[in-house]
Amino acid sequence: MRWRWHLTKQALLLAAMVVVAGSAAMQSHARADEVAAEKPLPSAIEAALIMKEIVPEAPVYIRVFKEESELEVWKARPNGRYALVKTFPVCNWGGTLGPKRVMGDSMSPEGFYRVTPEGLKPDSKYHLAFNIGYPNALDRALGRTGNYIMVHGDCRSVGCFAMSDKYIEEIYAFVRDALNAGEPSIPIHVFPFRMTAENMKRHAGNEARDTWKPLREAFDDFARTREPPKIGMCGKRYVVNALTPVGNDPYADCPAVIGKRIAPLSPRSSKRLVKADPRLEAQGPKLKSAEASFGWTSPISGAMFAWGTGGNTPSTRPGKPSQNESDAALGALQPIVKR
């Protein structure tokens, strides 16, 4: 009996040693991730931002393109326009083109999302991660299910957007610094592809094409203004850059008329616009030329204000850029930092 008890004690001791070793390894891994989460932006990126007069804590805008497997990081310049800082390759994403609909479909979502401070995951088992906020209010209103959709490291994905560990450290630092500087959230807009006319034509037969209308609108607006599109929800649909105030309740009725806001005007010009037409609600909008069922010509620079009904978004036709909408004013077309 004594030798059996001795062997049992040895087995218990060995098991305890294994548990302790495993716990130590897990703690070491957690500490490594915590250190990674605190890494500053690489000095080369910080230097490039300084050269463009962009502070590291400036607001961030992220775009993801599924077909191209690319993630872009844009940052605000002093003039309010955003410049492309860097384009990162996405290792993996889930499913095919089109929105995520149900939990377990292995699809990566498409749409308009936001990263909040609560969404940062410095202790992720995929090195580092942040939650993009799927499902948003519209997804839930449309019956879409699923959760914990992340941008993370480790290059493995089932519905998330997986990056290399090196790149997630950089992307995480961009997001962390902007949130720590006081930004309440970081917009992250996920597109099926770069929504050029050629690509839209190439995918015209895709069954998801009806879900891409607001994404195409946001893509086109940003190409013209270099300002992240303002996204609202009503009538169980997205509303992009609405002139009439639109909230974020997908169950709310849409306003009877929805205009198109492109770029903000000065406070003085805003007051003149509201005086000319109270429907503008002091939003201070400046609109690109547009075609709609009816329009109204502004006394300011002859701008055309397009109004669509609550059920329809006015079709738009970009006008020629003004002098202050040159590439230099809008922001860099090429990334400031090469990958």
The CA–CA distances, whole Å, from 163 to 61, 63, 82, 118 equal 17, 14, 23, 20
Number of domains in the chain: 2
Asked if residue 16 is part of any domain, the answer here is no
Q: Of residues 153 and 258, which shows the higher confidence score? A: 153
Catalytic site includes residue 155: no
Judgement on whether residues 208 and 235 belong to the same structural domain of the protein? no
Asked if residue 161 is part of any domain, the answer here is yes
User: Annotated catalytic residue: which of 160, 189, 234, 254?
Assistant: 160
Tokens representing residue 140 in the block = 């839930």
Judgement on whether residues 83 and 209 belong to the same structural domain of the protein? yes
Q: Say if residue 135 is preceded by a cis peptide, omega within 30 of 0.
A: yes
**Is pLDDT above 50 for 18?**
no
Judgement on whether residues 272 and 132 belong to the same structural domain of the protein? no
Catalytic site includes residue 160: yes
User: Annotated catalytic residue: which of 152, 189, 234, 254?
Assistant: 152
pLDDT bucket at 301, cuts 50 / 70 / 90: very low
Per-residue pLDDT tens digits for 69-81: 999 999 999 988 9
Judgement on whether residues 182 and 239 belong to the same structural domain of the protein? no
Judgement on whether residues 59 and 122 belong to the same structural domain of the protein? yes
Judgement on whether residues 294 and 173 belong to the same structural domain of the protein? no
Q: Could you tell me the pTM of the whole model?
A: 0.77
- What rounded mean pLDDT belongs to the chain? 81
Asked if residue 49 is part of any domain, the answer here is yes
User: What pLDDT score was predicted for residue 30?
Assistant: 47
Asked if residue 337 is part of any domain, the answer here is no
| Phi/psi of residue 256, nearest 5 degrees | -60, -35
Host domain of residue 292: 230-320
Asked if residue 155 is part of any domain, the answer here is yes
Mean pLDDT of 188-207: 97
Q: Of residues 80 and 216, which shows the higher confidence score? A: 216
Judgement on whether residues 298 and 162 belong to the same structural domain of the protein? no
Mean pLDDT of 123-144: 97
Per-residue pLDDT tens digits for 38-60: 999 999 999 999 999 998 889 99
Asked if residue 331 is part of any domain, the answer here is no
Domain of residue 102, CATH code: 2.40.440.10
